[in-house]
Amino acid sequence: EKKGYYAWNGIHYFLYEYELALQGSEEQKITYDTFIKRNSIEHIFPQTAVDECWQTSFDTYPSEQRVKLKNSLGNLLLLSVPKNAHLQNKCFDYKKRHSTASNPNEFKGYFNGSHSEIEVNAYTDWTAKEILERGIKMLNFMERRWEVRIGNFDQKKKILFVEFLQIGEHQLNIAGNEN
């Protein structure tokens, strides 16, 4: 069905484990029970990307490649159901931080969410490069966490369904990733 990692039956467990790794010794923001009951999986680059901000960043890719990018591991984020419903297809800058309708001095967004949200908030933009970069970081975490060897950079791009990207390992900020 071309749903990539979004349809993977282990995605909830993996995203939760990744959240714990990002948490380190900091305060736990999400328990597994809470995640299963009240949290969802957000497509950062949305499934229905109609806003100009998304068109500008992703229109150079044919439809089939956009679907692969949307459902690639690096584009998926553990997020509460209410927050996911609110953010929907909005632009990345809005998802990162925006004022609430009821109080212009109150802000919501990735910046004050789960450890995974805070990680994504650190990115300036959200393009295919960031999806690949985060996906590689997540696969590197998977290798360390379960002591498996996934492969080299090109093999990881293929596993992430983004082998078509003309982005080299040297163009990414993945050195020193200790998640």
Q: Each residue of 51-107: pLDDT tens digit? A: 999 999 999 999 999 999 999 999 999 887 677 677 888 999 999 998 888 888 889
pLDDT in tens, 103-134: 888 898 999 888 999 999 999 999 999 999 99
Would strands 39-43 and 76-80 be described as parallel, antiparallel, or unpaired? antiparallel
pTM above 0.85, yes or no: yes
Band (pLDDT 50/70/90 cuts) for residue 141 is: very high
**How far, in Å, CA of 26 to CA of 42, rounded?**
23
Query: Are the C-beta atoms of 69 and 58 separated by less than 8 Å?
Result: yes
**How many whole angstroms separate alpha carbon 39 and alpha carbon 116?**
13
- Of the candidates 87, 85, 84, 111, the residue with the CA atom closest to the CA atom of residue 97: 111
Distance of CA 52 to the CA centre of its chain: 20
Residue 115 and residue 117: Cα distance in Å, rounded? Answer: 5
